[in-house]
Amino acid sequence: MTVLQNTTIFADGRLSKADIAFDEKIRAIGASLSGDEKLDGSGKLVLPGAIDVHVHARDLNQSYKEDWRSLGRAAVAGGVTTAFAMPNTDPPLDTVEIVREYRRRASAAPVNAFIYGGITRENIAQLVSLANEVDGFKLYLGETTGNLVIRNKSLHRSIFKTVAQTKRVLAVHAQRDGAPAIVTQHESDDIGYVLDLADAYGTKLHLVHVTTRRGTEKILEAKHSKLDVTFEICPHYLFFTDRDRKERGAWLKINPPLATEEDREFLWWALRENLIDIVATDHAPHTVAEKSLSYERAPAGVPGVEYMPVLLLDAVNNKKLSLDQLVAVCSVNPARRFGLAKGELSIGLDADLVVVDMNVEKRITREMVRSKCGWSPYEGMRLRGWPVMVFVGGRLVHGAEIGTDDRASR
C-alpha cells in the first residue's frame, strides 16, 4: 500500500488537505494514513488521471510513426493515464484477430489501453461479434487515414441500427471532405445528419473533434431533447485558428480544419459554462518528414496526447478555466460515458493518479517530445502546471520522486 501524505486532493468537486492510500485501487482518503511506502506530497495537487478518448496509436505497419510503448510514454508524461485508440491503423482494426493482436501490443504501454473497432462496408454483419472485443465503434463519414470512409446512406442506417443493438458507444467523424472553409461552413449540417440517425435508432453517440459554434449549438439542442449524445473538442481548436494554419501551413493541417477566431472563443466560453463533455486530443503522430511536405501532400493531424492536461493546467493558472472544469472534461465525463471505474478520486476506483506541481513552469521544446513522431504543434509555448508523478493502477509510471520529472527538463 502506497500513501501520498500531506497532499491537496481534488475530490467531490473541491480541494482538501488529505492523505490518499492506494494499491491498484484507491483504498482510503483521510488523515494520518498508514502504508508500506509513504511519499510526501506537500505543496502538490493530486488529480484523477486524464482519459483521452481519441488517440491514434498507429503501431502495426505504421510503428515508425508511433507504437503503443511510445504513445504510452508520451501520454503519462502529460498526465494521461487512459487512452482510447482509433481503428484507422494499417491494417485497420476491423476483425477479431487484428483487434486481439492490437490489444496484445497495447499491453506494453504504461497506460490503460482501450480500443475502438473499425466499421467498413464489408464487416457490418460482424459488428455484433466484434463488439465483444472492442470498447466502442468508430464510423468515418469524412476522409481519414486508410480506407474506412463510408458514404452510402443506406449503410449508415444499417450501421446505426446494428451498433445500437451492441450497446456500445458509436464515435462518429461527421464532418465531410473538402476545402477548409467548406468543411467549417457545413459542420453543423453534417452533425445534424448524424444526430438524426442516432435519434432514429437509439444509438449511443459520441461526436468527435467538433470545431465550430454552430456545430456545438446543434449538439446542445439535441441534448436538450434528451438524445443520448456526447461530444469532444480538441486542444488545437482552443489554441489555434485558421489564421495559424495559413501561417504555418502543413504543420497545422488538421482534419477537420482549424476554424475561426469566433469559433475558438466560443469553445472557450462553452468550456467555462460546462457545456463541453470531453476534451480529447485526436493525437495524430505524423513524422517530421511527412509534415515537412507541401500542404497538399502532407497528412492531416497533429500530435497532442503529451500536453493536453498541461495546456489546461496552464489555463487554470491563468484563470481561463477552473480546476473543477478541467477534471470534468478530462476525467469524470469520459469515464462516465464509457462506463469506466476511473476518473475520480474515490475509494474503490482505479488508482490512476496524477501528482501536479502548479508552480513548475517549462517551455515546450522539440527535444523534450516523447512521442516517436518527434515534434509538437505547441513547441515554444511556456506552460505552468506540470505532472511530477503519475500512477496507473497504483504503479508509478512517471517521475522518480515527488518534485522531479524524469525526462521533460532534458
Q: How many Å apart are CA 284 and CA 55, to the nearest integer?
A: 7
For residue 147, the Cα-to-chain-centroid distance in whole angstroms is 23
Residue 60 Rama label (left phi>0; alpha psi -120 to 50; beta): left
Q: Active-site positions?
A: 282
Minimal CA–CA distance to 298: which of 306, 311, 307, 288? Answer: 288
Which are the contacts of 295, defined by CB distance < 8 A and separation ≥ 6? 249, 250, 253
Q: Which stretches does DSSP call E strand in 264-380?
A: 278-279, 353-363
Which are the contacts of 311, defined by CB distance < 8 A and separation ≥ 6? 235, 238, 239, 378, 381, 383
Sign, CA torsion 8/14/16/21: negative
Q: How many Å apart are CA 14 and CA 187, to the nearest integer?
A: 36
For the CA atoms of 376, 378, 379, 383, the dihedral, rounded to the nearest 10 degrees, stands at -130
Q: How many Å apart are CA 398 and CA 131, to the nearest integer?
A: 33
Minimal CA–CA distance to 116: which of 100, 129, 134? Answer: 134
Minimal CA–CA distance to 283: which of 259, 311, 264, 318? Answer: 311
DSSP per-residue codes, 9-20: EEETTEEEEEEE
Which are the contacts of 89, defined by CB distance < 8 A and separation ≥ 6? 56, 57, 58, 59, 60, 61, 62, 102, 146
Q: How many Å apart are CA 214 and CA 217, to the nearest integer?
A: 5
